[in-house]
Structure 1
């Protein structure tokens, strides 16, 4: 696709808006913070500054990004609180409220990596990743949600991963955390509907320090700057989608969604019936091409469709 022509009148800006970006000292988070600031957003640059495992905090990491933003004429403040505790999550959001009196966008990007299989991972390594990625998301979302609802505006962007959607070996802590983002975002989207608070999930792929140890020599260009415009759009007031997952990898953007096959109805089942129907309820085409995408209110759609099938099946049987 050709690039959209941008003029001063059509440029999507964030003037007057305030964003919090966690894990913004390096990699993807840094790219998000820089792009938002370049478009007029005031930014809380949060980063503990630790190593990839989360060890050895360094407050200079966040400050260096702030210095870069200020040097370019933008506004930003550094914050080195940890998302892993409720107190840290509140302090990160409070930095925006204390400095500028509001929070309009929350981008939770902070993360750490500690590899290990289900069988062998230590509990400390398991918990450390869950605390930062998943509990960290809840801590900052809970702190930001009230102020966003009270001002009748907010944009939340949570970070999942293909490792959370499709799974991967030796990262059970990471996979579980990134799957959990889907549930948190959907609940935030539902609870925020009446307050113009939208919540979505970014599923990013980029070559950052989290790719250490992986041979990326044959990868196409996968710089964080390819993902940043997607996240900025999700954080913008003009973004209308909510409760969705958007993937960005090597220049490709796609919607990721949960779906159901049409399924099979019987008024009663035995174990043997289930075994015999396995192929049919797994069928998604081409003979039975209907795949059901229920969207944000999927819990209602799922129940309603299932009840409808049961009702129709009962009528057919009678």
Structure 2
């Protein structure tokens, strides 16, 4: 017997039993061994094999593509090879993705170590400034002691002249160290603020720090002062090198220029949204008011 389903599936059986819900398929003519069931909504025909072969086209059942067990084995072998190839490709893709993940993780760790090293460098410089501040305090105390000794040495002209020279020299040292301390503190505060805003330090900044640490203390103070004079726009949050270069090309190269500029002009020059340009102008105005 042949059982034909509505989707074209054909099932073989030796016997069947019709019930209200469908057809029960048997593998023997005595109908004792049940081998399957086809629901009524999926059933099309139940016919003998002779009728099936004579009316295959009328029943809408196509000729079988596989006519022998050997062809079935060949097709199964081909399917197995295709599945194996797909599994191989999947394994290769998974391995490649794992390697990319490892590389990305290593890059993140490297950048984190780089940032940590830069922070430690800045902290080291800050420690040096604190030591110099302590030195300045001691010099101030020494200056007061010298002035006291000078008052006590008024008895002789020679002692008074010697004390006066010593006081002048100490005063000059104290004033020089005070200026140097102010410059170094200002430069370090600018660096710490830049690190907090960007979350990472650039290679260029690292190279600059190393070169700066190798210079003499007098040259380092002069470089910090020059850097502060030429990079006022860096104080604005979110205003990086690219945007600053665009604004400078448009003639906006200082906080004063930015504070007095129209947001429309700033947005067009830097190629940023209007709201961002308004924020820059407002922040520049606040900086101007706080420095006034």
> Normalising to structure 2: TM-score of the pair?
0.23
More relative contact order, 1 or 2 (CA 8 Å, 6+ apart)? 1
Which protein has the bigger helix share? 2
Q: TM-score, normalised by structure 1?
A: 0.22
* Structure that is richer in strand per residue: 1
